[in-house]
Structure 1
Amino acid sequence: MSGQDVRRAQQTENFSSLQRFYMRTFETFLEMCALFKMNRDEDGSSPDDPTLNMELLYAVHDALKTLYRTIQKLIVRLLDQVITSLDAMTNRLYASDEVRAMFMLIQNPVFAAQSSYTIFAHLLRQMVNLPSTDHQLLVTWFKILEVEKLRMMVRHLQQFITIRQFPPADKSLPPLSKSRWWIPMATKTLALINAANNASNPPLLDYSEFYNSALDHVDLMQDYFNWQSPQRPGQFAYCQYPFILSIVAKRIILTKDSEQQMILTARRSLVAKVARHQAPQIDIFFLNIHIRRSHLVSDSLNEDLLSQIASKQKDLKKKLKVSFVGEPGLDMGGLTKEWFLLLIRQIFHPDYGMFVYHPNSRCYWFSTDQEGNLREYNLIGVLMGLAVYNSIILDLHFPSVCYRKLLSPPVVPPSDSTRVGVVKSPTMEDLAEIMPDVSRGLAELLAYEGNVEEDMCLTFQCAKCCVPQVSLEEYGQVKTYKLREEGENVTVTNESREEYVDLYLNWILNAAIYEQFRAFYLGFHSVCASNALIMLRPEEVEMLVCGSPTLDLNELRKVTEYDGYKADDVIIIDFWEVLQSLSDELKKKFLLFATGSDRVPVGGMGEMTFKITRVTNKPDNLPEAHTCFNQLVLPNYSTQEILRQKLIIAISNAEGFGLE
């Protein structure tokens, strides 16, 4: 069959020849394998290649998508017969032909139709029940598929899960009592495809393409408890397969888990007060921090707070409440946001010396000269954990390898002797995120065709001055580190250069900062001690900490509420036109002014709440903001130009002013 045959049938509306072809092709597993196998008599299989005529398989499936529904219905009936008769066929198939047939069938486009779901479910169950050796074959074979074919399979499975989870009102699906197993089978099949995707370098699909956003609306906490419950081993839960849960769903689980821990901790404090016959005060429900704005870092990192963290870690589970000494204002969230923003800005300043800024990569990395400040690194980890725990978005610029280290492992091991925060087998791509020029130099070393020993004169030691972008002011003097025993006396040769590069990568990303990062890791996990972290990818932790990188004002406009104004009022139209015309930097300043953070929350601006309120008796005032409620108070200015001037003045001078 060819594309020409399909076009001829469509033009003449005579599908008899195509019907005969498809009836023969999908009549039995034997016929399928005979048609598509490169060698129909092959017994067994290659682990890396299904040895199928993939070009023909793609052509047959692509043709199905363009044919009339009558042909598709015929295929569904045939597939029903072939799948239900598989058990009787098994003894007549060559070795690995069963898994080959399933590999071909799951790519069939007819499974996009809801009418095929009962048959699709039985195919998925048979695929899931294959032995592990066949699952390994499927994983390696999925890696060779064209990207669009893999994407189509993922979409079919996600749609199947969604429709079974939220069935249509017409009761066209079997009752849930008879088809509850559909979702586990589809999810487990999707797990095989996800494993293949993760094993590909680079991945064929972005990890977010495996998200099923419809699941944001199921009872996520019940699913999480089912996953955690030791009384129900083996019970299916989406949390077992976290790749399918969106970052929004994971944020919901982490936030609600944090809230429940906060409530539990506050309740224990109340019971303890009552047991001691003490009058409870509202402050026992909060982790209260009092800060002088002029001594922001010293007050935040003082010994009292360090001691509190060391001795009363349970208090970290309380809701954070910040007050600035000498300033009025009740913290309903806005002051906490401002405290985090200002504190992070100062801690990461080069003069503070704990983190080194690398301008070529525009990110920070841990200083190798700060072994003495481990308690402060621990506290900074606590602050980062508190931000996640209290749903505060931070303006941090760590490379992605930092978040991999934070999840290595995702739960703190019980033994203090177990190494934590160590990334396994660091790569030059990891180093390039921090020091791209050093990474390029190492790549050139590996690719050098001359005599490395004579031409480069390298030894197995690492000098700090050889790492570009590290200032002399920080290090003070040139220091060298042995990458191996007696490294200063061991020259790098063509044969040993790979060992040198591996040791160099490990030194920069692990060994040189091990104690600093360990303290940071333990601080973070002292707050975020939740099994929900097991479900997160490093990229998702970064998004929870730093928010979404996409600033889409159109999404914000869609969710905006108005108090005293209407969406079609002239000033509101002018406001959005002015906001859209601002530079990206000013747009971030507006977001900071109105919400207390210049970062977009997880899920994008469409997940935010935002209100514009009218004030009538202050036509000459600047706009005001109530950051605790994401509320902008906007006077009814007479012209767009006045609105522009007033808005820019307000958002450019927001720090410590209007952040109520």
Structure 2
Amino acid sequence: MSIIVLQYIESYHEYFLSVVFFEILQERHKYPCDLYIFYIYICHFYRVRAESPCSDMKRAAAKKLIERYFYQLTDGCGNPHCDNQHCASSGKVTNLTPNQAAAQAIQLFSQEARLCDGTQPSKVARTTIEPGQTSLAKSLPVKSVNPTSSDEGKQEPYLTEAKLLYIIEKCKAEDSYSLLIRTLGEVFSSGKALSLSFQKTEKSNSPLVALLERAPDTLLRPPADLNKEAVRSLQGEDKEEDSSDPSPTVPNNDDTSVDLPSVRRAFEALWSLPGEVFESALVNALVTLADDIELDLRVFRIVRWDSMDSLLNVFLIVFEIPMLGNSEYLELALHMLCKALSCLPIVAQAKLARVWAKHCKSRLPNLLQALQELITVKVIGGSFTRDYCVQDADTITAPTKVMKILYYASMLAGELDPPELILGDEAESASSDKTASRSAISGQIPQDPLATELGINALDARKPFIPFTDFYNEPLSDAIEMDKDFAYYKSEEPMKFSFMNYAFVLTPATKTLGLYYDNRIRMYSERRMSFLQTVVGQPTNPYLRLKVRRDHLIDDALVELEMVAMENPSDLKKQLVVEFEGEQGVDEGGVSKEFFQLVVEEIFNPDYGMFTTQEDTQMTWFNPTSFESDAQFTLIGIVLGLAIYNNVILDVRFPMVVYRKLLGRKGAFADLEDWSPTLYRTMKELMEYTGDDMPETFMQTFRVGYRDVFGSLSFHELKENGDELYVTQGNKKEFADLYADFLLNKSVERQFNAFRRGFQMVTDESPLALLFRPEEIEQLVCGSKIFDFAELEAATEYEGGYTVDSEAVRNFWRVAHSLPPESQRRLLQFTTGSDRVPVGGLSRLKMVIARHGPDSDRLPIAHTCFNVLLLPDYSTIEKLQDRLLKAINYSKGFGML
């Protein structure tokens, strides 16, 4: 049979290429007849019917009709009353062998015989392209991929590692690189050609396969370059295949048919040559490639692609180019490739993230660096205005979209927490609706579509492959006008790009601005509603006003907040105004800052009984034996939420697990490292012990002890009859997980749930969870840990006649820098109302020093609401130091200036 087929190929070589032979060869498992005889009939029929090869449309139509006749003869149309003598369902067709049916199908086609309506070639290969975002993809019947011919009947160029190495060696020998330049130009400018390049293949000792790999004159277009399974079939080496797997390498959901190690070796060999030899041609080819793909995705809706996997193969190959972050590639090719890649449907982006995470870990940092350099170059070199901002530049937004794919790939490639750590209400939401928000803070903020498709969340990443901070881009963060970005975020127009939806690229300081605008707009909205209610005769207070006594601060504050929470919780979203009874200060922000600081100092004091202090970390934790009601903890959660909502930094020291739990994740064994380092080290020793004598060595059972707030020792059994169950090699992980779950979750479940409920009352509609990760929320609540007065000096402004060169100003900074850290914090407290450093450092404070008259004995005065220090023009540095220290050490309360 092989001899007959090869004779036909010799006779009709050009004709076979132009018609259907190699197309259908890939579908041979779908036909019960002898494939070669069937298609010899077809090709012979074409040759006697036409002088020239058929067009694509005619060929496809003829092929489909012949296949319908074939299945009509063998399977029938399914109508038991069929009267078509050429249909098996009529009973008028005698038993035909597959080969006889194939021959008769061609005759019926040539006679234009009757064809039953119900007859369909159900076994014809079809490729379904999954629908993606904005319906860029459609589910279409697509013909099989032809590895050797293009849509116009011409053979597609392609590359393998062996071919590229041969070309390189040949060019070196001839001292001419024209063949290499032409090859790279042809392959890398064609998506079809590149998708067929560097494919995984099974090893074969076939001399014909070896000949194809070495053929010097047909490297780009070998007439017999069908897939190697087909070559072996022609040599009589065919083997039985699973009918559901027509190709040698069918990737699973997180795999690819591209031989990525081969690609890397090929690129390594290519860049062993001088770059000027070929790089210009390669860059031009990549630009053409990116343009064509973007056109396909935006205009032709990818119908020109046979499958999404073929398109992904292209991106997998080009993003392996090691020089993407250099010179011409960065300026010309990379941003074009990013534009094309950003047009992919969400399903395809998710698969790319999985493949990168599984097969390209070592490549991820370099790729991130290239994208960061591209964004930085475009930001620094751009001319942006209010009418044309960074959100409108696709040279910036496109690499940001690609960086999101990389962001999730980094999480998939790192350490992920199991789904069991999602808190109860979150888990129910996620299981009931995959597209529902998994945000613990804001149920109204939708989950990122790509994260939903991948089934992950930033909170799931315990340790990503690339640190989250490496994704920050400071030049971009500084260039963004967050008021406009927030407007784009709130816009219902889908084409508006907002970096708030790509918050991983923004620094915490910039994200804080986004949260600030959201909070302020919500406050103004509540104020407008109060005004309208007043107009219609139902006057309400436009502010959340608290009047408290200094000596009864906690009682007064909690009582008033409890009344607000019970009567109208939405009032918590109004702007907070605090008034200390008997004091005349008007709250423009400074009074509120002191109020929060005093509340925190008192209520988080262990003597108050609601919270305890960890011995080895001095961090605050919930008292598991507290006698306070749930309402008290709810009110503390409200206070924490109000501090964030009103942009006030608090002096609290929670372990990181608190912020993870606020965002909807349970505490786990890994959280013990921050919660109690001593206990964590002990547990690690137990977990890493490999001996079989664990019960005798550690004498640890599933009964654990802990001390309550009074110092009394209590016990808890992690499992039933835990006192009789010793920890062994087989159950030590279970013990560690149960112990951590008890300490971080179950023992304080009542207290923490109440605390979280109060926190959500204030922040439930805020984009807090969209913008911030747990460690960033800690910065938001507690401020930065970097205390640098040099930053404060560089950012300070001067008024009232002072300049940076004024003698009193120079003396002030000499004194400020010479103070011990504790006194510096008091100075910061005196001037701004808070001794905490805001997110982004002291440069964010924008302090103002104003001249307050000539030399006198008066003390300096501060307007904490506006960060203004009124400093008399003291004549000597000694006098300035004396008056300043008295002011910061003895100031308390608010009086009328």
Alignment TM-score, normalising by the size of structure 1: 0.80
Structure 1 unmatched ranges of 5 or more? 1-15, 409-421, 466-471
Aligned residue in 1 for 2:370: 153
Aligned AA for 2:640?
Answer: M
Q: Of the candidates 687, 706, 729, which is equivalent to residue 464 of structure 1?
A: 706
Q: Which moved more, 1:213-222 or 1:601-610?
A: 213-222
Aligned AA for 2:528?
Answer: R
Q: Which has the higher contact order (CA 8 A, sep 6+)?
A: 1
Partner SS state of residue 840, structure 2: coil
Contact 2:544 2:575 survives alignment (8 Å): yes
Contact 1:627 1:659 survives alignment (8 Å): no
Aligned residue in 1 for 2:287: 80
Q: Of the candidates 550, 556, 578, which is equivalent to residue 293 of structure 1?
A: 550
Partner SS state of residue 479, structure 1: strand
Q: Aligned pair 1:612/2:849, yes or no?
A: yes
| Alpha-carbon separation, structure 1, partners of 2:821 and 2:546 | 33
Aligned residue in 1 for 2:464: 203
Contact 1:550 1:604 survives alignment (8 Å): yes
Q: Of the candidates 540, 557, 561, which is equivalent to residue 793 of structure 2?
A: 557
Partner SS state of residue 458, structure 1: coil
Q: Aligned pair 1:454/2:691, yes or no?
A: no
Partner SS state of residue 351, structure 2: helix
Partner SS state of residue 104, structure 1: coil
- Aligned ranges 1:232-381 → 2 under 5 Å: 232=493, 236-276=497-537, 284-302=541-559, 304-370=560-626, 372-381=628-637
Q: 1:307 to 1:83 in 2, by over 3 A?
A: closer
Q: 1:323 to 1:277 in 2, by over 3 A?
A: closer
Deviation at 1:146, TM superposition (A): 6.9
| Alpha-carbon separation, structure 1, partners of 2:531 and 2:291 | 62
Contact 1:28 1:82 survives alignment (8 Å): no
Per-residue deviation, residues 388-410 of structure 1 (Å, max 9, x unmatched):
111111111111121111111xx
Contact 2:669 2:740 survives alignment (8 Å): yes
Per-residue deviation, residues 427-460 of structure 1 (Å, max 9, x unmatched):
33x1121211111111111122331223322222
Contact 1:400 1:542 survives alignment (8 Å): yes
Deviation at 1:194, TM superposition (A): 0.7
Partner SS state of residue 328, structure 1: coil
Aligned residue in 1 for 2:891: 654
Q: Which moved more, 1:116-125 or 1:583-592?
A: 116-125
Per-residue deviation, residues 184-218 of structure 1 (Å, max 9, x unmatched):
54333111111122332543544233234535655
Q: 1:290 to 1:28 in 2, by over 3 A?
A: same
| Alpha-carbon separation, structure 1, partners of 2:886 and 2:580 | 24
Q: 1:459 to 1:582 in 2, by over 3 A?
A: same
| Alpha-carbon separation, structure 1, partners of 2:611 and 2:804 | 46
Q: Which moved more, 1:440-449 or 1:251-260?
A: 251-260
Contact 2:547 2:581 survives alignment (8 Å): yes
Partner SS state of residue 145, structure 1: helix
Q: Aligned pair 1:114/2:331, yes or no?
A: yes
Deviation at 1:340, TM superposition (A): 0.6
Partner SS state of residue 781, structure 2: helix
Q: Aligned pair 1:139/2:357, yes or no?
A: yes
Deviation at 1:652, TM superposition (A): 2.8
Deviation at 1:276, TM superposition (A): 3.2
Aligned residue in 1 for 2:89: none
Deviation at 1:154, TM superposition (A): 3.1
Aligned AA for 1:331?
Answer: D
Q: Aligned pair 1:124/2:312, yes or no?
A: no
Per-residue deviation, residues 553-596 of structure 1 (Å, max 9, x unmatched):
23322332212211111221222222223222222221111100
Aligned residue in 1 for 2:641: 385
Identity score, percent: 31
Partner SS state of residue 356, structure 1: strand
Aligned residue in 2 for 1:635: 872
Partner SS state of residue 592, structure 1: helix
Corresponding residue pairs, total: 606
Contact 2:357 2:409 survives alignment (8 Å): yes
Q: 1:85 to 1:361 in 2, by over 3 A?
A: same
Contact 1:36 1:56 survives alignment (8 Å): no
Aligned AA for 2:789?
Answer: L
Q: 1:54 to 1:339 in 2, by over 3 A?
A: same
- Which structure has the greater CA radius of gyration? 2
Aligned residue in 2 for 1:571: 808
Q: 1:291 to 1:180 in 2, by over 3 A?
A: closer
Partner SS state of residue 363, structure 2: coil
Aligned residue in 1 for 2:826: 589
Deviation at 1:299, TM superposition (A): 2.1
Partner SS state of residue 633, structure 1: strand
| Alpha-carbon separation, structure 2, partners of 1:23 and 1:260 | 59
Partner SS state of residue 554, structure 1: helix
| Alpha-carbon separation, structure 1, partners of 2:896 and 2:465 | 45
| Alpha-carbon separation, structure 1, partners of 2:680 and 2:546 | 42
Q: Aligned pair 1:28/2:187, yes or no?
A: yes
Contact 1:371 1:515 survives alignment (8 Å): no
Aligned AA for 2:583?
Answer: E
| Alpha-carbon separation, structure 1, partners of 2:662 and 2:390 | 41
Deviation at 1:345, TM superposition (A): 1.0
Contact 1:332 1:628 survives alignment (8 Å): yes
Aligned AA for 1:145?
Answer: R
Per-residue deviation, residues 638-657 of structure 1 (Å, max 9, x unmatched):
22233233323322333337
